[in-house]
Amino acid sequence: MQSVEKISNQRRVLMFGLVGALVAGCAGSRSTESTGDYIDDAAITTKVKALLLKDPLVGGLAIDVDTTKGRVRLGGTVKSEAERAKAVELARSVGGVLSVQNDLVVR
């Protein structure tokens, strides 16, 4: 029984060590995103893109969405100022969005 307990304790120590290493590795720095930030940004991008595609006024396929640390950048082309304004409005409506950079071009 002692050897089973010893192996079990070794597994616990190993697991806590791995979890600690993962947490430390996900910390990020001022110039890079942490894993959590990256996941949040991916979720924001997905939500914004879904809203753009769902809206009847906005041509969501022609709009690129990039998110970094909660800051959304919209790029690409739209057909009118109204479409441009609606795309920005939709992006701002998503939770977690800190700002929207509008690089959309009306053509």
- Looking at residue 59, what is its pLDDT? 78
Strand, helix or coil for residue 101: strand
- Looking at residue 15, what is its pLDDT? 65
Which CA distances in Å does 40 have to 14, 43, 53, 90? 29, 5, 20, 17
CATH architecture, domain 31-106: 2-Layer Sandwich (3.30)
Domain ranges of the chain: 31-106
Residues of the chain with pLDDT under 70: 1-9, 13-36
- Looking at residue 32, what is its pLDDT? 57
Residues 50-66: tens digit of each pLDDT: 999 999 999 789 999 99
- Looking at residue 38, what is its pLDDT? 74
Q: Within 13 Å of residue 24, how many CA atoms lie on the same side as its CB?
A: 6
- Looking at residue 1, what is its pLDDT? 53
